[in-house]
Amino acid sequence: MPFDNFRAIKTEDDLMEFFRANFPDAIPLIGEESLRKQYFANPKGPLMSVKVRSCPQFAWLSFDRSSTCDTNDGTHARGAQCRPYHYTSAGLIIGDAAHSMVPFYGQGLNAGFEDVRLLNRLLDEHGVSSHVDRSGSAGAEDGRVLPEDPALAAALSAYTEHRHPDAEAIVDLAMENYVEMRSAVVSLNYLIRRRAERLLSKLFPSLVVPLYTMVSFTTIRYSEARQRNRAQGRWLLGSAVFTAAATLAGIAWTAARYRSVIERVLQRR
């Protein structure tokens, strides 16, 4: 909802008038008294998301919060950007710190678990041991500078390179799903594509997989799921165009082939 609508609600009467006009069925479920208390007691703020971009060295420590996601209806979904996720072997950010997202795909927690799974695999692949003592200094008198671990640095670098396409993909997919739930579900083109996709996924389950299924019920990478969905969309569109063209061509051929017969039938009528 646009923030101007929130700012227009200044009194309890404004609140109840707004809910009666827009969400009348929610009032008995929440309770009028509870609604009045909860609305003014809880803060309203923009939904935040974090995406990645190439930054100069050390820039991973700062976030650019000037960017906003375009929701096309005046609502605010601000985005911070940071990349890489690591700095040498000294530190790494994962989970919401690296790729917080709007909640419209329900993948925030799952994406964090995937971070951990990938990180554990890369640590094993690069031979990083959890038993190595990294508490010493690198000669600094204050003891605050940790020695760089080449294996750990390589593992963290590999994590950034491998994970960032997927993190960026799920952040975008979450916002796109908001747009889909908001307005696309009443679009005829959307409904036709979804029905065709479901039918084809039943007929050819290994070839056509709905995006939501790939994201929520498989271990397919988020970036791969997005690419496959786009490819499926192009394939479905091409198939629809071909089918329509073939149908029209068939009608035209039939009309030309049996023109005389059709004319005689029409003349009799």
Which residues contact residue 69 at a Cβ distance below 8 angstroms, ignoring those fewer than 6 apart? 49, 77, 78, 79, 102, 175
Domain containing residue 74: CATH number: 3.50.50
Burial of 99 (0-12, 13-18, 19+ CB in 10 A): buried
The last residue of one of the domains, among 182, 207, 231, is 182
Range of the domain at 245: 188-257
Residue 156 resides in a domain: yes
The segments of the chain whose pLDDT lies below 50 read 54-80, 137-140
Are residues 178 and 55 part of one domain?
A: yes
What pTM does this model have? Answer: 0.70
pLDDT of residue 82: 57
Report the candidate in 44, 49, 2 with the shortest Cα–Cα distance to residue 167: 49
How many distinct structural domains can be found in the chain? 2
pLDDT of residue 269: 64
pLDDT of residue 81: 52
